[in-house]
């Protein structure tokens, strides 16, 4: 799909009218790119069948800039929702896709985003089955916002719930923390490093599926620490389960340049947003095997066990720091990095 011979260079208000310009945009770009029997009905909705319970998750993506190191808003919108569905212990199958475009967006940018949505959807094994396109006047939006809602079949062996978490359970992350947030921040602030910091946006659904196949209900929780970072998600979990969480700073996978960028900008990597990162809380007896399985996957090669659930200090996350002390890790209060996803 490319921008040539479309007959228009930018998205304008007419493309959101519901008339022939809308149809033209859909026919030439959307239906052509995502071509599948669900979408080809060209109805306002789609009909699907599931063989089990369904996990549903929705997210709107408003990231700025829309093109960033390691990705763009299109693949982010697919990966983010695919991962949220996976975090429910489900196998993502379908996505809905809704655009809010600011008048004047260049068609070649729009197409780049659409192609990237298609490619991310293919990689995750999901189909775009229904959608919507709205256009707002210049100055009433910011290039493009994307909502995706995802639907997946709950894995037959999944039993994901904070209720299953008990003292002694291990907390495992699949990779480097703070990559996504620092990629965006470095770009916004014009920071240059020896090599570029790239967003970790990717789909983790197949890795999650493998974990469920292998360990079933020994996996007690999945959660992805996006906005608010690892600190906020762990704090929330600790409060939800009314137990303590202990983590070890020296176990948390953190890339050297990302650590440096955080220091320059005065940010704590524990609060920085991630995209391809997820936490698994698992029964201690399978923890080593979980780590081993995850490290074999390209999306888990930096997997580490970073801590555990404890009956001590309920509702609080305590970190043993590298220099030897302990500190309480509070959740993020205000805003650290606006529009990070």
Map the footprint of a second copy across residues 230-259, applying CB under 8 A: 232, 236, 240
**In whole angstroms, how close is the CB of 256 to a second copy at the nearest point?**
26
Under rule CB under 8 A, which residues in 133-172 are in contact with a second copy?
Answer: 134-137, 139-142, 145, 147, 149-151, 154
Residue by residue, DSSP assigns 103-127 as TT-BHHHHHHHHHHHHHHHHHHT-E
Q: Could you tell me the smallest distance in angstroms from the CB atom of residue 14 to a second copy? A: 4
Stretch of 45-53, 70-78, 111-119, 305-313 lying at the interface with a second copy (CB under 8 A): 45-53
Closer CB to a second copy, 58 or 321, in the complex: 58
CA 175 to chain centre: 14
Mark the segment that binds a second copy (CB under 8 A) among 65-73, 87-95, 112-120, 197-205.
Answer: 87-95
DSSP state of 228: T
Report the residue from 37, 324, 325, 334 that binds a second copy according to the rule CB under 8 A: 334
Contacts of a second copy in 47-86 (CB under 8 A): 47-50, 53-62, 64, 84-85
* Shortest separation between residue 157's beta carbon and a second copy, angstroms: 15
* Phi, psi angles (nearest 5°) of residue 187: -65, -45
Nearest-angstrom CA–CA distance, 75 and 93: 16
DSSP state of 332: P
- CA-only gyration radius of the chain, Å: 21
Least separation in angstroms between residue 285's CB and a second copy is: 25
Gap between the Cα atoms of 225 and 168, Å rounded: 21
268 contributes a contact to a second copy by CB under 8 A? no
Q: Please calculate the CA angle 249-197-77 and round it to the nearest 5 degrees.
A: 95
The minimum distance between CB 62 and a second copy, in angstroms, equals 5
Query: Phi and psi (nearest 5°) for 41?
Result: -65, -20
The SS3 call for residue 136 is strand
Binding mask 314-333 for a second copy (x = CB under 8 A): -----------------xxx
**Shortest spacing between CB 10 and a second copy, in angstroms:** 14
Shortest spacing between CB 113 and a second copy, in angstroms: 16
**Stretch near a second copy under the rule CB under 8 A, chosen from 29-37, 91-99, 208-216, 317-325:** 91-99
User: Which one among 100, 176, 247, 317 touches a second copy, defined by CB under 8 A?
Assistant: 100
- For residue 25, the tally of other CB atoms under 10 A from its CB is 24
Toward a second copy, which CB reaches closer, 46 or 116?
A: 46
CB of 328 to a second copy, least distance (A): 14
Q: Is 210 helix (H, G, I), strand (E, B) or coil?
A: helix
Pick one of 9, 122, 132, 263: the residue that binds a second copy (CB under 8 A): 132
CB < 8 Å & 24+ apart, contacts of 206-211: 206/125, 206/297, 206/299, 207/174, 207/294, 207/297, 207/299, 207/300, 208/86, 208/87, 208/89, 208/278, 209/86, 209/91, 209/155, 210/293, 210/297, 211/280, 211/290, 211/293, 211/294
Residues in 194-223 at the binding interface with a second copy, rule: CB under 8 A: 223
| Per CB under 8 A, 129 contacts a second copy | yes
Element (H, E) at 132: strand 127-136
């Amino acid at each position: 799909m490319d921008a040539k011979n479309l007959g228009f260079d930018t998205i304008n208000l007419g493309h959101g009218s519901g008339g022939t310009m809308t149809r033209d945009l859909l026919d030439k770009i959307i239906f052509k790119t995502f071509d599948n029997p669900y979408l080809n009905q060209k109805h306002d909705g789609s009909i699907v069948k599931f063989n089990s319970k369904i996990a549903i998750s929705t997210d709107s993506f408003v990231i700025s800039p829309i093109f960033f190191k390691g990705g763009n808003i299109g693949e982010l919108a697919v990966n983010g929702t695919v991962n949220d569905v996976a975090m429910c212990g489900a196998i993502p199958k379908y996505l809905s896709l809704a655009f809010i475009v600011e008048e004047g967006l260049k068609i070649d940018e729009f197409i780049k985003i659409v192609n990237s949505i298609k490619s991310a959807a293919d990689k995750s094994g999901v189909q775009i089955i229904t959608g919507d396109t709205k256009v707002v006047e210049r100055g009433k939006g910011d290039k493009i916002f994307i909502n995706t809602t995802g639907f997946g079949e709950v894995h037959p062996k999944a039993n994901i719930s904070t209720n299953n978490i008990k003292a002694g359970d291990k907390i495992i992350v699949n990779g480097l923390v703070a990559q996504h947030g620092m990629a965006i921040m470095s770009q916004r602030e014009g920071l240059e490093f020896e090599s570029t910091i790239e967003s970790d946006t990717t789909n983790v659904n197949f890795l999650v599926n493998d974990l469920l196949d292998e360990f079933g209900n020994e996996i007690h929780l999945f959660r992805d620490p996006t906005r608010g970072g690892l600190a906020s998600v762990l704090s929330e979990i600790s409060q939800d389960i009314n137990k303590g969480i202990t983590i070890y700073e020296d176990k948390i996978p953190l890339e050297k340049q990302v650590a440096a960028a955080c220091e320059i900008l005065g940010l704590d990597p524990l609060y920085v947003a991630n995209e391809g990162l997820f936490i698994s809380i698992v029964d201690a007896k399978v923890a080593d095997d979980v780590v081993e399985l995850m490290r074999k996957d390209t999306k888990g090669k930096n997997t580490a066990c970073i801590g555990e659930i404890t009956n001590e200090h309920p509702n609080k996350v305590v970190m043993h720091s590298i220099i030897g002390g302990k500190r309480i890790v509070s959740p993020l209060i205000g805003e650290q990095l606006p529009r990070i996803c």
